[in-house]
Structure 1
Amino acid sequence: MLINETPPSIRRIDTSRDDAYAFEVTGHITASDIENMYGLLEGAYLLHEKIDLIVIIHDYEGFDWSAALREKSMLGKTHALKHIRKYAVVGGPSWMGPTMAVLRPFFSMEMRHFDLEQQNEAWDWLQAEPAPPEV
């Protein structure tokens, strides 16, 4: 058995609220990163009808577009839309904010883009914060 030496590009962050979920995205996003994130979100939907979500993106190096267009990924995105109450994206490539602004009217969830320096404002908007590290 081979061990993947590349750490995942999407990492879950524990939060102060049961129904608030957070992910940190770094580097190049692959199909397995996306499948892992949607798996974690599917578990959240079993526990909560509606969730708030924050995705913090830094050191972005690209995206495996073929992974995003896979049937399983598309189904995950469609299913997620029914369960997300508030969606905050922090940072990311320069096209992220304008793209969210264009798409906002087509979704029932509240969604906002924040610059990386506005991360605290994004957490405040969700009325959540990162959970303190366990000692």
Structure 2
Amino acid sequence: MSYLEAVPAIRRIDTDRGDLFAVDIVGKVNPADAENLFGLLEAAYALHPQIDVLVRLTDFEDTQWAEISPGTFEQGRDAALRHVRRCASVGGPDWSGYLRGELPEATELRHFPADREAEAWEWLGASPRATT
């Protein structure tokens, strides 16, 4: 199956805060998914110069980092450095130790186990909106 045929691994989560960017990452992240994620983040930055981020990892398998364009990755990282205030990751592996070395001290970063997702939403002062 090609990247164009695969179900997207990155899915937006609608929230009750305009300046909170929330996504669910399901399964394996391929380069097309990463490009999509960086594009969605750029749109969020255009609307809100400073944002909070929630990343929920559901049945996370892997990310093909080596296949993502280095330029795309660097642009995404540099933009996050300028725009992200707080970031909560829920479930999956805890990457906070690695990310702390990549983000400025002013960026707050916390990992929550999947069974404590409600605490992540509370920490960010937000809620997911129910889908119909």
Range of TM-score over shorter length: 0.7 to 0.9
Alignment partner for residue 128 of structure 1, among 122, 126, 131? 126
Structure 2 match to 1:113:
111
Contact kept, 8 Å, 2:22 with 2:55, in 1: the verdict is yes
Change (3 A) 1:39 1:122: same
Distance 2:14 2:103 in 1: 30
Whole-angstrom CA distance in 2 between matches of 1:15 and 1:3? 28
Is 1:23 the counterpart of 2:23? The answer is: yes
Identical amino acids, percent of aligned pairs: 38
TM-score with structure 1 setting the length: 0.86
SS in 2 for 1:82: helix
Match of 1:96 in 2: 95
- The count of aligned residue pairs is 131
Contiguous gaps of at least 5 residues in structure 1: none
Hey, what's the Cα distance between the residues in 1 that align with 2:120 and 2:35? 25
What is the TM-score of this pair, normalised by structure 2? 0.88
**Secondary structure in 1 matching 2:101:** helix
Q: Which amino acid aligns with 1:96?
A: W
| 1:6 maps onto 2:6 in alignment | yes
Gaps of 5+ in 2: none
Does the C-alpha gap of structure 1 residues 105 and 12 become closer, same or farther in structure 2, counting only changes over 3 Å?
closer
